Homo-oligomer: A and B are copies of this chain.
């Protein structure tokens, strides 16, 4: 049920809930689905513009929120500021660079079983688990040598 993979899937999910199938919804979903990485709302707007020059940012936000409710898109909130969205549904994790704020996917197995069970024991109903590694990305690490703790200024 979650995550529509094709335009038809999405259209079906929308109709099933009495929601309307609009070009904005189809295109925004398509753009996110066909992207490599994550996208901010602003990026989505830019990438949707060629197909629909008049979409507005509020519509992008509203649509992303709707797609999230449908389970077709996931909102990943960067430890920093703006949120990013993606359509991946397979287990994967994120690395976040403190320096430049970049968020990237990380392929790695992880067994959150114990944590999930612990959460359920507290009455929490988890539907998603993701690991976030915080640190310094390769690019930023190269820029500032070894960040010796004593060299501060």
List chain A positions with a Cβ less than 8 A from chain B: 1, 16-18, 75-80, 93, 95, 97, 106-112, 114-116, 118-119, 122-138, 141, 149-150, 152-153
Contacts and interface: CB of A to CB of B under 8 A. Distances in A.
Contact of A106 (B115, B138, B152): B115
B129 A136 contact: no
Copies per complex of this chain: 2
Contact of A118 (B106, B124, B132, B141): B106
Nearest first, the 6 closest Cβ-Cβ pairs linking A and B are A123-B138, A126-B135, A108-B118, A108-B115, A126-B133, A77-B79
B130 A135 contact: no
A141 B112 contact: no
B108 A114 contact: yes
B115 A126 contact: no
A124 B108 contact: no
A45 B52 CA distance: 45
